[in-house]
Amino acid sequence: MANKTKHIVKRGKHTEEYDQRKLYASIYNACIAVRCTDTEAELIAERIVQLVEEWLEPKHEVTSYDITRIASEHFQQYHPDAGYLYEHHRSIS
C-alpha cells in the first residue's frame, strides 16, 4: 500500500490509524473459528487484506464499518461461513 496514513473512523466517532495487523487478525480468527486450517486461514487473511488495501488505496479516511463491509464482500468468494462470523462477530458476542 502507498506510504499514506489511512485513518479509520470508529463507531464511537474517534479516529485511529489503519492497522493491517488488526484486520489480518480478525479475518484469521474468523477462519479458525469455522475450523479452517492455519494455512487456509493465513492464505485467506493475506488475500482479503490485500483486496481491502487496494480498495483503501485512493482514500484517506474511511469508517470501520467500511472496512468490515468490504472485507465481508471478499469473504463471500473465499469462505462465506467465516465471512458470516466475521461480519456478525460483534452482534453475536
Partner 1 sequence: MPKHPVYDYDLLVIGSGSGGNVAANTVAKAGQKVAIVDEAPKLGGECPNWACVPTKALLRAAEHYRMAKAAPDYGIDTGTLKVDYKRVKEYKDLVVSRTGTDKAEEFFNKNGIDVIRGHAHFIDEYTVSVAGKRYTAHKFLIATGTSNFIPPIKDIEDIGYITYEQAVEVGKLPKSMAVIGGGAVGCEFATIFNTFDVNVTLFEAASRLLSREEPETADLTKAIMEKQGVRVETDTIVEKVEKSGKQKVLHYRTGNKTGKLTVSEILIAAGKRPNTEIGLENAGVEYDKHGITTNEYMQTSAKHIFAAGDVVGPYQFTHTASYQSRIAGNNITNRKDNWQAADYHSIPRCVFVEPEVASVGLTEAQVREQGITPRIGTAPISQVGRSNTENFKDGMVKVVTNQKGNILGASIIAPHAGEMIHELAVAINFDLHAHEISHMVHAFPTWSEAIKVACGNVK
Q: Is 66 in the site for partner 1 (CB under 8 A)?
A: yes
At CA 72, angle to CA 68 and CA 73, rounded to 5?
120
Nearest approach, Cβ of residue 44 and partner 1 (Å)? 22
Assess 65 for contact with partner 1 (CB under 8 A). yes
Please identify which residue in 24, 34, 63, 73 interacts with partner 1, judged by CB under 8 A: 63
The least CB distance from residue 67 to partner 1, in Å, is 11
**Could you tell me the CA-to-CA distances from 83 to 30, 34, 73 in Å, in that order?**
7, 10, 8
Q: Which of 60, 90, 92, 93 binds partner 1 (CB under 8 A)?
A: 60
CA pair distance 31, 12, nearest whole angstrom = 27
Q: Is 51 in the site for partner 1 (CB under 8 A)?
A: no
Integer angstrom CA distances of residue 29 from 20, 26, 36: 14, 5, 10
- Asked whether position 12 contacts partner 1 by CB under 8 A, the answer is no
H-helix or E-strand spanning residue 37: none
Closest approach of Cβ 6 to partner 1, in Å?
A: 10
